[in-house]
Structure 1
Amino acid sequence: MNELRPLLASLTGEMNGWLREDDPLIGELTVPDEGDDVVLALAAQSRRAAGLVRRSDTPLSDAMSLWQASTRENLQLRCSPEATTADISNLLDSWLEHPMPEVSEPGGDRARSVRLPVPLRQAIVPLLEYGFTARTVTLARRLNTPPPVSPSPALIRPAREDDGERMRELMRELMATEVSFGSGYQRAPEVSDHHVEEALTLHDGWAVVAEIDGLVVGWASMAPPEFSGWAAPSVRPRPAAYFGNAVVDPAVRSGGIGRALASTLHNHAHSHGVDTIILDAASNNTWSVPFWHRLGYRPLWTTWRRRYPTSD
């Protein structure tokens, strides 16, 4: 690692320079740091690409395990603007020749992933050739002006504690859909309840529900800037808020309820001085990314994933 640090620092600086010119909304990259979780340090033969591979494990009971394998290797890639597909292939080849770690707990799953800025198009073909698929797209939109209010057949109001049971039911339905698309991982049903509990801790209008004839048919939540620090580095403009969840009953989809939920939170965020909203959408879910694009979001980052069998 020590011998690669000057190269990683140089490539990070170069990468930030050309990304800033290509898309000023994309966040600043930092130089990958050392740590006990680093398992590999890699460099292409050309020295135009390099990176660190980090090992991480998430308990199956953790809500984050709904969206990612419980045992993961993540590549932090840095490259110069002159990096070619051959350079990326060379780096991936060095990474993948090492065996994938075993799962950290029974019933777990394994994957390798790399999160890349969308303008790094020379990485796409090598990733596909090495069996990676686009799993998640990180999108963002700015709130330069008050967003338009979308009409809705439902009453949009702040979420309450007594909405919890119905919100949990809708969240479990959403996770079943994401698993069927290959976007999420099969977990115990109650694991997704953590998202609802987290949303109900948000007060002052940061979590809302859609109600028709007394029945909650959808809900959405957004973390205010003070709780979005982990996601904020994805963008340059601040303050940034993270749009965590948006769920609509399948029986009433395509009726404007999802748009109304999002519009309500957009206006709430704007009134609280938020500049940029960030969210992650599942690439495999053919409804998700087009929906957010219609609401003014655009892609900044793509997380690529290669799944592995539970054991070799």
Structure 2
Amino acid sequence: MEIEKTLFDAHRARFASIDGFLPEAAPAPVVGERVDAATAAGVQVTGVVQRQLHGPDDVPLLWSAADVRQLFPFIGNTGTEGMDVLLRAWRAWMDAESPGEDSSCVVNWPSRDAEAIRAFLDHGLVPMSALAVRAGGHRDAPDAEGVAVRRARRDDFDTVLAMAVSTHDYIGQVATRHRPNAAELLAPALERALDKDLPLLWLAERDARIAAFAHGAWITSSPGSAEAELLPHGRWGYVNNVVTLPGLRGSGLGRTLMSVVHKEFAADGADGTYLYYNPTNPLSSVFWHRQGYRPLWTSWEVHPASALR
């Protein structure tokens, strides 16, 4: 869907001024419904709404509502007012919709745009997830006493899966929805990781017992790729999931584990690492900042979609 050149140029200039680490702003999605609005001075702003539906066996249900309406805003340099009038127009557009309980309205936006944050809060949106980046190489961290880190093996599957489900259940209290079939949704990715000769799945053991794990992947952001809309070009280590047993959190296990993960990613040529965390999670929101990560993009959401103000 084409956006007016002057508005799109202002949109790109705004992103560049907000955060120098952001990639060049992507064009509007080709598919979607357009929402238009104007400021008091008559400056036009617009957005494209896309709808995504997830079935009961779809992995995105681990972090997403089943029925998602995502807005891609283009507000140029209009700041809080431009985002506010566009969200008002989206709210009016939503009056013709009939979203159910398992639904959401979502806007993914640069984390450092304080003017937009004001509008998001005023319309009932909350920061549900953040894409955070850690640029540069490895920095040594003190090891927790008595902790050994190794790569996972196939016979670790049952233990790792049970830990992942436990963490999903915890996150269901503070961020995403609880899914009763979480084990079935989590299992395939872990199985694929363990089928590799050297899986990107690290375990931290204490007293010969698995106490934490980290699951990663390699991601390349190249011109024209979907990843290039979110990350600077380069080879990135992706930290998909990190889990520590509940009774051992805060004992340095996660720090020791991630020190090894970061060291190995850096040794294999990563330009940086990135991950998603929940700002509403009282554990991860503190831990990842201490590991050198900072938010680049924040997903602002309201559940159910009809709660958009």
Deviations along 1:229-267, whole A, 9 cap, x unmatched? 654532224122221110010111111111122111111
Deviations along 1:22-67, whole A, 9 cap, x unmatched? 42212222111322xx133334344453210000111222221110
Conserved? CA contact 1:102–1:310, under 8 Å: yes
TM-score normalised per structure 2: 0.88
Match of 2:7 among 5, 11, 17: 11
Question: Which residue does 1:155 correspond to in 2?
Answer: 148
Cα deviation, residue 207, structure 1:
1.4
SS in 2 for 1:69: coil
Conserved? CA contact 1:160–1:200, under 8 Å: yes
SS in 2 for 1:156: strand
Task: Report the residue type matching 1:200 in the other structure.
Answer: L
Alignment of 1:221-300 (within 5 A): 221-226=215-220, 230-300=226-296
SS in 2 for 1:239: strand
Conserved? CA contact 2:37–2:86, under 8 Å: yes
- Structure 1's 198 and 123: CA in aligned 2 closer, same or farther, altered over 3 A? farther
Match of 1:305 among 290, 301, 309: 301
Conserved? CA contact 2:108–2:297, under 8 Å: yes
Match of 1:167 among 119, 136, 160: 160
Q: Tell me, in whole angstroms, the C-alpha distance in 2 between the residues paired with 1:282 and 1:219.
A: 18
Q: Is 1:96 matched up with 2:99?
A: no
Match of 2:194 among 200, 222, 237: 200
Q: Tell me, in whole angstroms, the C-alpha distance in 2 between the residues paired with 1:76 and 1:232.
A: 16
Q: Tell me, in whole angstroms, the C-alpha distance in 2 between the residues paired with 1:267 and 1:67.
A: 28
TM superposition outliers: structure 1 runs of 4+ over 6 Å: none
Deviations along 1:85-127, whole A, 9 cap, x unmatched? 2221111111111234445xxxx71000000102322122222
Conserved? CA contact 1:66–1:187, under 8 Å: no
Conserved? CA contact 2:35–2:86, under 8 Å: no
SS in 1 for 2:107: strand
Q: What is the percentage of aligned positions where both structures have the same residue? A: 23
The runs of 5 or more residues in structure 2 that have no matched partner are none
Match of 2:109 among 112, 116, 131: 116
Q: Tell me, in whole angstroms, the C-alpha distance in 1 between the residues paired with 2:306 and 2:80.
A: 30
Conserved? CA contact 2:128–2:279, under 8 Å: yes
Cα deviation, residue 202, structure 1:
5.3
SS in 1 for 2:296: strand
Cα deviation, residue 309, structure 1:
7.4
TM-score normalised per structure 1: 0.87
Conserved? CA contact 2:22–2:232, under 8 Å: yes
Q: Tell me, in whole angstroms, the C-alpha distance in 1 between the residues paired with 2:121 and 2:18.
A: 23
Conserved? CA contact 1:52–1:77, under 8 Å: yes
Question: Which residue does 2:135 correspond to in 1?
Answer: 142
Question: Which residue does 1:218 correspond to in 2?
Answer: 212
Q: Which shows bigger deviation, 66-75 or 145-154?
A: 145-154
Conserved? CA contact 1:178–1:285, under 8 Å: yes
SS in 2 for 1:219: strand
Conserved? CA contact 2:220–2:233, under 8 Å: no
Cα deviation, residue 198, structure 1:
4.3
Deviations along 1:264-309, whole A, 9 cap, x unmatched? 1111111111112111110110111211111111111110001117
Q: Tell me, in whole angstroms, the C-alpha distance in 1 between the residues paired with 2:290 and 2:228.
A: 22
Cα deviation, residue 170, structure 1:
0.4
- Structure 1's 278 and 10: CA in aligned 2 closer, same or farther, altered over 3 A? farther
Q: Tell me, in whole angstroms, the C-alpha distance in 2 between the residues paired with 1:109 and 1:22.
A: 33
Cα deviation, residue 161, structure 1:
0.8
Q: Which shows bigger deviation, 282-291 or 149-158?
A: 149-158
- Structure 1's 198 and 290: CA in aligned 2 closer, same or farther, altered over 3 A? farther
Conserved? CA contact 2:221–2:236, under 8 Å: no
Aligned residues between the structures: 299
Deviations along 1:66-85, whole A, 9 cap, x unmatched? 1010100000112223x132
Question: Which residue does 1:85 correspond to in 2?
Answer: 80
- Structure 1's 120 and 227: CA in aligned 2 closer, same or farther, altered over 3 A? closer
Q: Is 1:176 matched up with 2:172?
A: no
